Structure 1
Amino acid sequence: MIPVDKGGGIAKAQGSYKNRDTPCSFLCLPKPMMAMSFLPSFHLFLVFVVSSIIYITYRCKFFTSRHPGCTFAPGPRGWPIIGNLLDLPTQRPWIVFRDWARTYGDIMYVRAYRKPIIILSSAEVVTDLMEKRSLIYAGRPVSVMDNLTGKYFHQYFNGGVVPDYHIKQAKQIHKFLRRCLDTSGKQLDPSHVRLTLASTIMDIVYGLQIESMEDDYIRVVVESIELGSDSKVVGKYWIDYMPFLRYVPGWIPGTASVRLGARCRPVVEEMVNRAYDAVKKGTVTRSSMALDLITRLSEEPDPERRKAEERHAKHVTAVAYAAGSDTTYSTIQTFFCNLATYPDIQKKAQEELDLVVGPDRLPTFDDYDSLPFVQAIFLECIRWLPVAPLGIPHSTTEDDYYNGYFIPADTTVLVNVWHILRNPVDYPEPEKFNPDRFMKDGALNRDVRDPLTFAFGFGRRACPGKDFARDTAFLLFASILHAFKIMPSLDEYGNELDPTPHMSASTLCYPELLHYMLKPRSKAMEKLVRDTAL
């Protein structure tokens, strides 16, 4: 009940409007109208929920009758109607799923409302399903947009094309080294790493010269990635499993996903259009992926087909930033925190670099095959902390059976990549950061399970940007190790700070709050960094 102050207050505020039946806000809404606007909506919502419960109960019985005697994989027992919706963890779910696997096995079944989910927790099961039966497990689902976007990604980021970007990658890495000289002896700002990756990918994709993370082009992309990453946290938003919630008013408790969607749309739209339109209008004219696409599309005679293809081109260029920048950032932060912790690993890599590269130049991509231990460091970074601990969700395109378990069509498939890459059988002492696990007789040991086969996706859905990410990380690792010592940073009293990081808990996982600094290995190396320019 809203009090009315006859001497002013709300009554006076309402009196200032000519038409009192048209409120200016919730507070100045007359009581009768308030009841009329709120209660019917709430009652309709309750009717909607009750109807949905009745409907889903019927559907569950119908589903069971269609598949009599079918056995699902084991998993935690769920609740009536909502299944395991309340069991799905939203903070570091890969750890919870690891604990579940110890009880229920390498393939688990849960149900979130009507949505069946299976969680795979061993390399053998993943290989059997995601690789050998990739046609069934490659869904997300597949659409025309997915196919065209995938086509463009493969065209511009496949292993045969990536060497075309080496000059731009090396240029930005050399800029990063010079920025590190300017902050020598101080804790390195993680934004230096982000700027290096952002400027590299924005140069390749749009021909943009980015000099600061405050750049408007970067600001909108970073905001979009943050919102998108939050929306992908498994189990956090019930709308993923109860699509009817998209029609529920945003003021209803539990509908945060509706509000998140409202925030995401304008940001994502700006990210998709802004840089692409700058290239199309001729504001940016340097050679780039977007310019090549725009030139090719201008030759399409069919206006409708050209319009549709341009939508796909805009999306693939926008997504390229996240694929080529944000994910690599995680691997580089993992590199810094562990190399600061293990100086013996750093020393061994530097001995290899001194022997192969020498004191008169910086490493290049041509040194790749001659630096197996630097490669091993990259592999161990990927294994120790995969960028996407649960991979990217897949879905089944048809019913399937595996080891006596029934897996219905349209089942969401999650792979606990983090748990698989910490299997002590494949990787003894998995908690320890140890690149030597990938070495044998001075070369890479091909008998050790390759973490890249799990960290970058599976089958037809494997990440097309993995070669680009590997090359960027390799040259950055080699260049930093050749020119600098990585050390724990110091507090105000000169004591070393613990470089052990705090881990983020979103869809993408990376070390946060790192305490490390870089110092040149020698005066000669400092001069080499300053004098080397592309």
Structure 2
Amino acid sequence: MLLLPTSLLDNPGYFVVIFAVLATYLRSIIKWRARARGRPLPPGPPRLPIIGNMLVMPKWKPWLGFRELSDKYGPIMYMEVFGKPMIVLNSPDIMNELLEKRSAKSSRRIETPLIPLAGQAFNFAFMQYGQWWRSHRRMFWQHFQPAKVSDYWPVQREIIRKFLAKLHDTPSDLQRLIQYNVTAATMKVTYGINIDEDENKWITVVDDAFAGLRVVTISVQFLLEYFPLVRHIPAWFPGAGFQKSLGKARGPSDYMLDVPFAMARENAQGTGSGYSSVVADILSRFGAQGPDAENEQIARNVAAIAVEGGSDTTYSTIQGIFLALSLHPDVQRKAQAELDAIIGPHRLPDFEDRESLVYIDAIVKESIRWHNVVPLGVGHCITEDDEFQGYFLPAGAVLVPNVWSVMHNPQIYPNPEQFNPDRFIRDGKLDTSVLDPASKIFGFGRRQVRPSGPPQVMSDM
């Protein structure tokens, strides 16, 4: 029997508080039942009071942990931490249904303090779905659509050939040369700025600008998502070293927004017809008066994310390709045989040769399948209560597409751990019956960004 102090029993305010707590609790149950209408939540691990699934939430390489849990609970799995619902998707069909066909309900982003802390408020991949986001997406698409990207081929061709020559002379500098190659191409295309190989300034700025986002998404995302007050902890406090990394990233992010844009604007003045840079093209569309403050800010944001996203994720993807080829010399031999047969020994392959180089194309597909740069994509948020396969999907739940799980599903790709470009080829042509990795790794629905040509912003915009 619960014994209470007499002072509490004699205090009417005590019963008022108890009644208010119980009433609030009962009201929440009634409201939830009215929303759910008897429909169960998707299956998932048992939840503890208050903390929910915090103790079973994967912390390290969560895409692996989510797949293990999915093997037990199914391809659509419900989890919850401190009342925040999450629905993990491990099936391409379910991803298509919830993120493609129902994109009107699933294009919103999570409200989080992570992005401003990382200096990424300009990154429209994390903006809420609405007019501000649409304005960014529209301007971005105008300059990176299929009909436009061939304008950038001369820049890419020049830089790639420099890269190959340097790599031939100093193969031990592979990582540095890849980073230079990607950053130089994106800076030239976007801003018209030339970067010398020995000029580390821009490469460092771009890398530091992305570092903050890398920190919060890998190291402290859980802490900041579910305990947002920790963002106010000073950097000197034990365990708060992430604050130094975040602070270090905000300066370069601001620099990327302002300095190269100003340089591109100055360089664009007095230029003649023909391609000079994405920024110059944007500014020319507003005439002599130039864009108003809002459109100029959108232009700054779009240019910065084109360089930042392309420099980071494309850089990682190219590293993955080199890793795969170094581990599989048999794939290298087949690729070289195709080049010798179709291109010959007297020239380098070019963009126009892509359709003829079936095995090379298959290597690219297998590389992005085998090595996922963003294995969990970017979470989408359900804007209204919904139902799927008899399950209740509550508004506010975060949909997490486990892209890595799909790309390593043995029922879709037999022997998924094996690097095998031939899985995408049948009768000497690309096999369209095999799931194209590009249909999943570049995002979903209205947020999808398909790479029609570099700079590739491999993300879910």
TM-score band, normalised by shorter chain: 0.7 to 0.9
SS of residue matched to 1:136: coil
Give the match for residue 272 of structure 1: 257
Question: Residue type matched to 2:48 in 1?
Answer: W
Deviation at 1:89, TM superposition (A): 2.9
- Name which of 41, 66, 71 aligns with 1:72: 41
SS of residue matched to 1:164: helix
- Name which of 40, 53, 62 aligns with 1:93: 62
Give the match for residue 216 of structure 1: 201
Give the match for residue 313 of structure 1: 299
Give the match for residue 363 of structure 1: 349
Pick closer, same or farther for the CA change 1:352–1:189 going to 2, 3 Å: closer
Give the match for residue 296 of structure 1: 285
Give the match for residue 4 of structure 2: none
**Aligned 1:127-526 pairs, distance under 5 A:** 127-140=96-109, 141-183=128-170, 186-212=171-197, 214-233=199-218, 236-246=221-231, 261-282=246-267, 287-297=276-286, 299=288, 306-464=292-450, 466-469=451-454
The answer on whether the counterparts of 1:108 and 1:120 sit within 8 Å (CA) in structure 2 is: yes
Deviation at 1:242, TM superposition (A): 4.3
Deviation at 1:472, TM superposition (A): 11
SS of residue matched to 2:416: coil
Q: Deviations over 1:393-447 (max 9, x none)?
A: 1111211111122111222111110110111111111110000001111111111
The answer on whether the counterparts of 1:168 and 1:204 sit within 8 Å (CA) in structure 2 is: yes
SS of residue matched to 2:79: strand
Question: Residue type matched to 1:324 in 2?
Answer: G
Pick closer, same or farther for the CA change 1:282–1:322 going to 2, 3 Å: closer
Deviation at 1:149, TM superposition (A): 1.4
SS of residue matched to 1:398: coil
Which of the pair has more CA radius of gyration?
1
* Alpha-carbon distance between aligned partners in 1 of 2:236 and 2:385, rounded to the nearest angstrom: 38
* Alpha-carbon distance between aligned partners in 1 of 2:56 and 2:220, rounded to the nearest angstrom: 8
Measured on the aligned residues, the alpha-carbon RMSD in Å equals 3.0
Q: Which runs of 5+ in 1 are unaligned?
A: 1-54, 474-506, 509-534
Q: Deviations over 1:447-500 (max 9, x none)?
A: 111111011111111115x12249899xxxxxxxxxxxxxxxxxxxxxxxxxxx
The answer on whether the counterparts of 1:237 and 1:257 sit within 8 Å (CA) in structure 2 is: no
The answer on whether the counterparts of 2:52 and 2:82 sit within 8 Å (CA) in structure 1 is: yes
The answer on whether the counterparts of 1:422 and 1:431 sit within 8 Å (CA) in structure 2 is: yes
Deviation at 1:254, TM superposition (A): 6.8
Deviation at 1:264, TM superposition (A): 3.7
Deviation at 1:336, TM superposition (A): 1.4
Question: Residue type matched to 2:63 in 1?
Answer: W
SS of residue matched to 1:117: strand
* Alpha-carbon distance between aligned partners in 1 of 2:169 and 2:148, rounded to the nearest angstrom: 34
Q: Percent identity between the aligned chains?
A: 36
TM-score scaled by length of structure 1: 0.71
Give the match for residue 6 of structure 1: none
* Alpha-carbon distance between aligned partners in 2 of 1:279 and 1:56, rounded to the nearest angstrom: 60
Q: Deviations over 1:6-54 (max 9, x none)?
A: xxxxxxxxxxxxxxxxxxxxxxxxxxxxxxxxxxxxxxxxxxxxxxxxx
Deviates more, 1:272-281 or 1:210-219: 210-219
Q: Deviations over 1:235-275 (max 9, x none)?
A: 73433234455556667777666665544433321221121
* Alpha-carbon distance between aligned partners in 1 of 2:236 and 2:306, rounded to the nearest angstrom: 35
Question: Residue type matched to 1:156 in 2?
Answer: H
The answer on whether the counterparts of 1:109 and 1:119 sit within 8 Å (CA) in structure 2 is: yes
Give the match for residue 115 of structure 2: none
- Name which of 55, 65, 72 aligns with 1:103: 72
Deviation at 1:189, TM superposition (A): 2.9
The answer on whether the counterparts of 1:194 and 1:329 sit within 8 Å (CA) in structure 2 is: yes
Pick closer, same or farther for the CA change 1:431–1:283 going to 2, 3 Å: same
Deviation at 1:199, TM superposition (A): 0.4
Question: Residue type matched to 2:384 in 1?
Answer: E
Question: Residue type matched to 2:453 in 1?
Answer: F
SS of residue matched to 1:446: coil
SS of residue matched to 1:119: strand
* Alpha-carbon distance between aligned partners in 1 of 2:243 and 2:457, rounded to the nearest angstrom: 37
Q: Deviations over 1:266-294 (max 9, x none)?
A: 33212211211222344997811112223
Question: Residue type matched to 2:414 in 1?
Answer: P
The answer on whether the counterparts of 1:57 and 1:81 sit within 8 Å (CA) in structure 2 is: no
* Alpha-carbon distance between aligned partners in 2 of 1:58 and 1:437, rounded to the nearest angstrom: 60
